[in-house]
Amino acid sequence: MKDKSLESIGEFGLIDIIKKKFNSKNNDSLIIGIGDDAAVISKSKDDYFLISSDMLVEGIHFDLTYHPLKHLGYKSVTTNISDIYSMNGFANQITINLGLSNRFSLNAIEEFYKGVKIACEEYNIDLVGGDTTSSKTGLIISVSAIGNVLKNKLTLRKTAKKNDIICVSGDLGRSYIGLQILEREKSVFLTNPEMQPELSNYSDSIEKQLKPKARKDLIEKLSEFNIIPNSMIDISDGLASDLIHLSVQSNLGVKIYEEKLPILKSTILTANELNLNPTTCALNGGEDYELLFSVNEKDYNMLKDNDIDITSIGYFTSNKKCNLVSKEGETIGLKAQGWKHF
Ligand code: ADP
Ligand code: MG
């Protein structure tokens, strides 16, 4: 068979190819394997184990010129456990594998683990193992998380229902804006190291980029109000990309409205300053680590009546098309434009 380049297949295409090769079970404890935010494994009569894994690579996912190691330690944990919360479960343990070069001192690694520890305490999880090796291509961080979910609360990508209301927690596009500001300041510094960085006006977006939170608080709220979403995913690649995952896997379409997208005023102002379209930042920026989920109307009203930090942005349709209705009323097809890794 003719070989193909990874670039032409893309990240999601490659994952599909791997998934198809491993679609039969060798062990009965496997409930759900490749394809959702975390794998689901039998645990006990009432609950399942959840397992997720993520990798952060220097030069691809972070730049140590402006990413303090302490924040990077924190972010490595929160971005990974976000995949456990998006299954409507809770993270309990993590392992961390590091690929390190001689460039790092003990102090630097200790800074990284200070951030890991802060996240472990904030999210009630324990670091229980990992692996350490040398790397010639910069810092490589791989985190795996183990969690659990009650069987009747497990929430998948593939179970959205027609007419479900699509909700998103928090706000969108802020992390991407933070990244653009940090990149701008880096290039200013490289051309003129004497220039003082101008970061104070952008602290909320920079903070979201450097040390994003995982939305454990929302999973606790859902549990408090006895609400089990019909589908859920966390937004890592961007709203458009992650919404398309829900849509394709649920075999439904989506209709969302530009005017409903939760974008902070500060994000809009900075996007304008950077000549970026705020809607594009919200749709394709990525790294928001907010939860994107769908519920019926009754559950949505209950969440809204209790002032939970969510916004409805549209609904699931039976026609399988993924569309955005612009502020001008134009219907535009959504495209998956997440991070391009290859
Ligand atoms: P997320 O953005 O939520 O981390 P990904 O797009 O990275 O999700 O992964 C989607 C699914 O594909 C997950 O089930 C993940 O475990 C699986 N996956 C990703 N890369 C690989 C791989 N190299 N081998 C096997 N499974 C993979
Ligand atoms: Mg995810």
> Ligand 1: which residue has its CA nearest to atom 19?
15
Q: Distance (Å, rounded) from C-alpha 103 to C-alpha 44?
A: 46
How much is the pLDDT for 200?
78
Q: Say whether pLDDT at 340 is over 70.
A: no
Q: Distance (Å, rounded) from C-alpha 119 to C-alpha 211?
A: 10
Q: Ligand 2 mean position to 162 CA, how many Å?
A: 22
Q: What is the residue type of 179? A: L
Tell me how crowded residue 5 is: count the other CB atoms within 10 A of its CB. Answer: 7
How much is the pLDDT for 52?
98
| Closest ligand, as measured to the CA of 233 | 2
Beta-sheet strands, E only, within the chain: 30-32, 39-42, 47-57, 90-100, 126-134, 140-150, 165-169, 231-234, 253-257, 291-295, 310-317, 322-325, 331-333
| Cβ < 6 A, ligand 1 pocket | 15, 18, 34-37, 53-54, 83, 236-237
CA neighbor of 260 nearest in space, from 310, 210, 216: 310
Beta-sheet strands, E only, within 230-274: 231-234, 253-257
C-alpha 172: how far from its chain's center? 11
How much is the pLDDT for 339?
45
How much is the pLDDT for 12?
86
Share of the chain above pLDDT 70, in %: 98
Q: Distance (Å, rounded) from C-alpha 47 to C-alpha 40?
A: 10
Banded pLDDT at 297 (limits 50, 70, 90): very high
Residue that wins the pLDDT comparison between 239 and 339:
239
Which of 116-120, 145-149, 255-259, 334-338 comes out lowest in average pLDDT? 334-338
Q: Which atom of ligand 1 is nearest to the CA of 52?
A: 16
How much is the pLDDT for 338?
46
Banded pLDDT at 199 (limits 50, 70, 90): confident
State pLDDT tens for residues 42-94.
Answer: 999 999 999 999 999 999 999 999 999 999 999 999 999 999 999 999 999 99
Instruction: State mean pLDDT over 23-50.
Output: 96
Instruction: State mean pLDDT over 167-179.
Output: 98
Q: What is the DSSP string of 107-172?
A: HHHHHHHHHHHHHHHHTT-EEEEEEEEE-SSS-EEEEEEEEEEEGGG---STT--TTPEEEEES-S
Q: Residue 295 in contact with residue 280, Cβ under 8 Å?
A: no
| Closest ligand, as measured to the CA of 85 | 2
Secondary structure (3-state) at 66 = coil
Q: Say whether pLDDT at 190 is over 80.
A: no
Q: Ligand 2 mean position to 97 CA, how many Å?
A: 19
Q: Ligand 2 mean position to 51 CA, how many Å?
A: 12
Name residue, tokens 């399942």: 48
On average, the pLDDT of the chain sits at 94
Share of the chain residues as helix, strand and coil, in percent rounded to the nearest 5: 40, 25, 35
Q: Distance (Å, rounded) from C-alpha 49 to C-alpha 38?
A: 9
Q: Ligand 1 mean position to 35 CA, how many Å?
A: 6
C-alpha 95: how far from its chain's center? 19
Q: Distance (Å, rounded) from C-alpha 257 to C-alpha 52?
A: 31
> Ligand 1: which residue has its CA nearest to atom 8?
37
Which of 43-52, 172-181, 186-195, 222-231 comes out lowest in average pLDDT? 186-195
> What phi and psi, each to the nearest 5 degrees, are found at residue 93?
-135, 155
Q: Distance (Å, rounded) from C-alpha 44 to C-alpha 48?
A: 7
- Give the pair of three-digit tokens for residue 185: 């300041």
Banded pLDDT at 9 (limits 50, 70, 90): confident
Q: Distance (Å, rounded) from C-alpha 233 to C-alpha 38?
A: 10
